[in-house]
Amino acid sequence: MNNKNIPLSVPNFPGNERKYVDDAIASTWVSTAGPLIPKFEKAMADYMGCEHVVATNSGTSALHISLIDAGIGPGDEVIAASLTFIAAVNPIRFCGAEPVFVDCDEYFCMDPDSVQYFIDNYCEMQGGNLINKTTGAHVKAMIPVHVFGNMANMERLMDIAEKYNLIVVEDATESVGTFVTEGRYKGKHLGTIGHYGALSFNGNKVMTTGGGGMAICHDDVVRHHMAILTEEAQDMSKKEDNLLFIHTEVGYNYRMNNIAAALGLAQLESLEKFVKTKNENYRLYCQHLNGKNGLRLIPYTPGIRSSMWFYSLYLEDCKISRNELMEKLAERKIQSRPIWMLNPDQAPYKNSLCMPLPNARNYVDKIVNIPCSSNLTAEDVKIVCDEILDLTK
């Protein structure tokens, strides 16, 4: 039986992390005013091939400022994902708006058919706006999530958005390093396709700044507004506001700090290496497990170079239950976790409007996420697979 602790997903600091953080501390620039924050923004923008980004203190705050800039407020509805982390939904409520939950596709991402079902069965166009006939609300936006490093079907979702005048806020918090290799959006990084995008650099993500995020948009005015929102809505570019503490609206303390940016700059230098390891380990898991004991790894969306953030083992026809497998793996020092409980089943959203969820409900108790850290070795993968095969035989 295995004796080595194998965690699910831990940060990996193989390069200049300590040096850049030490330098930031030595400079005494540790808060949101430091020079490494714009430097990190420029480096990420160059990496993703986009121009307009705002570094934030979390992915959640990046989503929130995107929705504020998009004008989402009370009386509005936003089409939201059922099978994802709840942070992709809560910012809708921060704005006083309501989510409408739709199903996922075979890659856990927002299903365009389910979005269309909602529109066809509940909505009508009135004066260029999509109106929910049952609630009278203006359906103003959708938040597709690129779950686990997959890609939502952006071609179809963007077509739907254009037809019904919807704003698209891409939640790319789980897919940093993932870009499109085929089709209409070939070459684009996830998060740069919709009207807004959000990234996360939380501790368990492909690359980390400790805690942090980034909002992506497509013009100077929007970028300027979102940047101001992260700093209590004080417009430091105007000399008089800078001196007199003039605040143009309700703002937030959402800016990334300089130490986080230092960490981010070092992590970005290793990102491609992390993605390579994660891709290699995914292939090893597939070789060891696919088709054995009623198990298979869920594939990533075709037509992308995925960062493969999290691996999803599907217990299709397995002798033991998902929860039993997780408990037994923990006894053998291997950390795993279930996929999230569905958002419409969570306390804050029990009364929210929800479309039928055949796919999400099928996945919810059959998926287990298995170790996927970017420093996981081929030997570690073999140990995890041997234990899984032993427990499911």
Interface ranges with ligand PLP (CB under 6 A): 58-60, 84-85, 87-88, 145, 171, 173-174, 200, 202, 213
Find where tokens 């032993």 sit.
390
Nearest distance in Å: CB 61, ligand PLP: 7
175 with 190: CB under 8 angstroms? yes
Residue number with the shortest CB distance to ligand PLP? Answer: 59
Considering beta carbons, is residue 202 or 267 the nearer one to ligand PLP?
202
Nearest distance in Å: CB 81, ligand PLP: 8
d(CA 9, CA 239): 45
283 with 262: CB under 8 angstroms? no
Nearest distance in Å: CB 58, ligand PLP: 3
Nearest distance in Å: CB 95, ligand PLP: 15
Considering beta carbons, is residue 76 or 174 the nearer one to ligand PLP?
174
> Other CB atoms closer than 10 Å to residue 59's CB: what's the count?
28
Considering beta carbons, is residue 82 or 132 the nearer one to ligand PLP?
82
211 with 259: CB under 8 angstroms? no
Considering beta carbons, is residue 112 or 213 the nearer one to ligand PLP?
213
Considering beta carbons, is residue 81 or 180 the nearer one to ligand PLP?
81
Nearest distance in Å: CB 199, ligand PLP: 8
Return left, alpha or beta for 303; rule: phi > 0 is left, psi -120 to 50 is alpha, else beta. left
Nearest distance in Å: CB 197, ligand PLP: 12
Considering beta carbons, is residue 85 or 349 the nearer one to ligand PLP?
85
